[in-house]
């Protein structure tokens, strides 16, 4: 192994990796370290839920609950600070993060984003202090990914101007609803019927408990019971049997019933309205992606610290000591690529949060696409990383006291909630195809496809594919080569997706079926796009940094990241003749030497993740 090359200052690196709110993040983590329950114990769900609720109340007391709301309601209008708190909670205990997210992000966020002044004035202050606890009733037993077709109805009564919320079937029950047991008010998503016309999904404030916590009549709440993890969250199911609410309880930013009982909306197209309303979820998706990454980094820091002290097998009979786990090449190959991926995805998610914070309405669709894709890629990485780290700690990783059990079980659902990852990746691909998606139903479809095919085709020719056999280390480590190689994969996959669709359309395959037949390809293209996005975002981040050893390290991290992607997808480059076998072999060699270099920075890099020792202890 080569010697260390530069003096990394972990505190400087930490600030770079965590972004603007690093100090707030430190505060939150340190504040909660003392409240954290003993990992080695098992709790009943009631005990655990009570504890988690107490923690969230403590956070509210410190003013963290209302951060995203306006000043009038105790907040700072700072969604980015809210996200920073969410991230920090994810390091300490994912239950804290999720409970916090449900109360302030989903329940409070829905009122904030979908409601108007009346709703803000009525609910936000109490929500921020937790004197009002609420839940977010979107998912139903029958409809999770397909929110558009949920069954719950909200029928406007012209007689008395009220609205009736109703669950027409058992499968219309609101499902997996966090805060269902502790809460007393729900934001319920339902199909709004006015004069027998369905205006699509809208959100309504529906109280379901009285001041004393007793369930109101004709409402059923059922505990979801024990789950794989997150047993500190009180997930439940809710059914409504003809529940009357005042018309004012419609969160009416994007849809309203006027005094004459007519439906009005600032967005005429029902489809568009639906997607704008669901856009309220985008912050949640970024949070879930970041939560997964933070949990993965806790697992990673734990496994790496353990690997740097645990010894097994002598390298040589003459040696006094056995070898450190971290010195095994297989161990480095298991962990280091996952470590750099987590770092790069976190940077990318932070960039997106910052964009979102200052975004104009027109930017939102692109931000949503990116958030969906980064959420999926980040949470899949989290699941994989936590698993790999557990295995890398052997039997010790299996004992509850050492943390992996909770990290794994609690984070497992991240690939599903706030959007199933596979479904999200298709959203991303559809976003990429947007330019000709519209044309799908037009006569101009073929022309559009052809145009786009040619446009990207031209772009492709920019790449010097004569470099397919160039194998010098200098070339392979060159940022232009890396960046163009990632770009080639993204563009090529979109072209080939478009080609495939064109062929289906020529064969008169209906549009939906063409999408279906291209589904696997779509997910791959979306991955190529998002993986490259994270690389580009990290380049942008690097470009903002003054020259320093830490900047150099981040460059190395991004280079290692790019090489690991090329390794992951080398079949693609070979299959499309972008590289030949001599080149992929040379890349493997460079990849190993870059990994060996990264190894020399490990102690400082682990410290830069900003995870206190209390969270990364393997008990002897």
CB 164 to a copy of itself: min, Å: 25
Q: Which residues of 528-567 are buried (b: 16+ CB within 10 A; e: fewer)?
A: bbbbbbbbebbbebbeeeeeebbbebbebbbbbbbbbbbe
Q: Which residue has the tokens 């796009």?
A: 529
> Angle at which helices 479-506 and 519-543 pack, to 10 degrees?
150
Give the residue ranges of DSSP H helices in 507-580.
Answer: 511-517, 519-543, 549-568, 570-575
Toward a copy of itself, which CB reaches closer, 146 or 438?
146
Q: Which residues of 368-382 are buried (b: 16+ CB within 10 A; e: fewer)?
A: bbbbbbbbbbbbbbb
Q: Considering only CA atoms, which of 553, 548, 565 is closest in space to residue 601? A: 553
Toward a copy of itself, which CB reaches closer, 152 or 421?
421
CB 438 to a copy of itself: min, Å: 17
Under a CB-based contact definition with an 8 Å cutoff, are residues 526 and 425 in contact? yes
Tell me the HSE value of 84 on the side-chain side, using a 13 A CA sphere.
23
CB 542 to a copy of itself: min, Å: 29
Toward a copy of itself, which CB reaches closer, 19 or 229?
229
CB 495 to a copy of itself: min, Å: 15
CB 335 to a copy of itself: min, Å: 12
DSSP reduced 3-state for 25: helix
Helix (H) or strand (E) holding 358: none
CB 394 to a copy of itself: min, Å: 5
Toward a copy of itself, which CB reaches closer, 140 or 550?
140
Under a CB-based contact definition with an 8 Å cutoff, are residues 189 and 203 in contact? yes
Toward a copy of itself, which CB reaches closer, 175 or 550?
175
CB 470 to a copy of itself: min, Å: 16
Please list, in sequence order, all residues whose beta carbon lies within 8 angstroms of the beta carbon of residue 507, skipping any fewer than 6 positions away: none
CB 40 to a copy of itself: min, Å: 5
Toward a copy of itself, which CB reaches closer, 43 or 451?
43
Toward a copy of itself, which CB reaches closer, 413 or 452?
413
Q: Considering only CA atoms, which of 277, 134, 104, 281 is closest in space to residue 202? A: 277
> Angle at which helices 364-392 and 421-432 pack, to 10 degrees?
140
d(CA 99, CA 108): 12
CA torsion angle 486 491 494 500 (round to 10): -110
Toward a copy of itself, which CB reaches closer, 224 or 456?
224
Toward a copy of itself, which CB reaches closer, 318 or 361?
318
Torsion angles phi and psi, residue 201, rounded to 5: -70, 130
CB 151 to a copy of itself: min, Å: 12
Q: What's the full length of the chain, in residues?
A: 620
């Amino acid at each position: 192994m080569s010697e260390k090359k530069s003096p990394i200052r972990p505190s400087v690196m930490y600030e770079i990796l965590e972004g603007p709110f690093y100090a707030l993040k430190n505060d939150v983590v340190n504040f909660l370290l003392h409240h954290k329950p003993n990992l080695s114990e098992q709790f009943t769900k009631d005990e655990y839920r009570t504890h988690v609720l107490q923690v969230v109340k403590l956070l509210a007391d410190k003013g963290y609950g209302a951060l995203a709301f306006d000043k009038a309601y105790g907040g700072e209008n700072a969604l980015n600070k809210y996200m920073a708190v969410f991230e920090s909670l994810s390091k300490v205990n994912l239950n804290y993060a999720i409970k916090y997210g449900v109360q302030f992000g989903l329940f409070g966020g829905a009122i904030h984003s979908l409601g108007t002044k009346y709703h803000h004035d009525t609910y936000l202050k109490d929500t921020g202090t937790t004197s009002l606890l609420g839940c977010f009733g979107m998912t139903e037993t029958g409809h999770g990914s397909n929110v558009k077709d949920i069954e719950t109805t909200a029928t406007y009564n012209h007689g008395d101007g009220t609205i009736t919320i109703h669950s027409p079937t058992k499968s219309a029950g609101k499902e997996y609803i966090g805060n269902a047991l502790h809460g007393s008010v729900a934001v319920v998503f339902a199909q709004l019927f006015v004069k027998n016309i369905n205006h699509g999904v809208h959100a309504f404030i529906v109280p379901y408990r009285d001041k004393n916590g007793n369930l109101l009549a004709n409402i059923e709440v059922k505990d979801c019971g024990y789950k794989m993890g997150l047993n500190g969250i009180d997930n439940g199911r809710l059914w409504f049997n003809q529940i009357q609410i005042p018309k004012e309880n419609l969160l009416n930013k994007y849809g309203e019933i006027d005094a004459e009982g007519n439906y009005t909306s600032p967005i005429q197209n029902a489809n568009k309205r639906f997607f704008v309303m669901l856009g309220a979820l985008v912050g949640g998706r970024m949070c879930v992606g970041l939560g997964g990454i933070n949990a993965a980094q806790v697992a990673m820091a734990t496994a790496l610290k353990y690997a740097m002290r645990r010894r097994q097998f002598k390298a040589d009979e003459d040696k006094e000591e056995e070898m450190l786990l971290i010195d095994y090449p297989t161990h480095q190959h298991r962990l280091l690529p996952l470590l750099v991926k987590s770092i790069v995805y976190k940077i990318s998610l932070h960039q997106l949060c910052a964009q979102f914070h200052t975004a104009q309405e027109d930017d939102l669709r692109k931000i949503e696409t990116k958030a969906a894709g980064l959420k999926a890629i980040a949470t899949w990485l989290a699941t994989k990383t936590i698993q790999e780290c557990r295995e890398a700690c052997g039997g010790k990783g299996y004992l509850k006291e050492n943390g992996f059990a909770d990290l794994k079980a609690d984070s497992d659902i991240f690939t599903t909630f706030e959007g199933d990852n596979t479904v999200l990746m298709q959203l991303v691909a559809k976003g990429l195809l947007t330019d000709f998606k519209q044309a799908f139903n037009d006569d101009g479809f073929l022309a559009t496809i052809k145009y786009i095919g040619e446009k990207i085709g031209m772009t492709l020719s920019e790449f010097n594919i004569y470099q397919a056999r160039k194998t010098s280390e200098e070339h392979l480590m060159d940022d232009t080569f890396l960046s163009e190689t990632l770009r080639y994969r993204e563009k090529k996959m979109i072209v080939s997706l478009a080609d495939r669709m064109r062929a289906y359309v020529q064969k008169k395959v209906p549009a939906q079926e063409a999408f279906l037949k291209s589904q696997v390809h779509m997910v791959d293209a979306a991955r190529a796009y998002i993986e490259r996005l994270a690389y580009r975002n990290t380049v942008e981040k690097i470009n903002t940094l003054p020259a320093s050893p830490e900047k150099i390290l981040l460059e190395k991290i991004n280079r290692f990241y790019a090489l690991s992607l090329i390794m992951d997808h080398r079949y693609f480059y070979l299959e499309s003749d972008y590289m030949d076998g001599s080149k992929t072999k040379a890349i493997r060699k460079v990849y190993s030497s870059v990994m060996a270099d990264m190894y020399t920075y490990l102690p400082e890099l682990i410290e830069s993740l900003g995870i206190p020792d209390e969270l990364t202890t393997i008990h002897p």
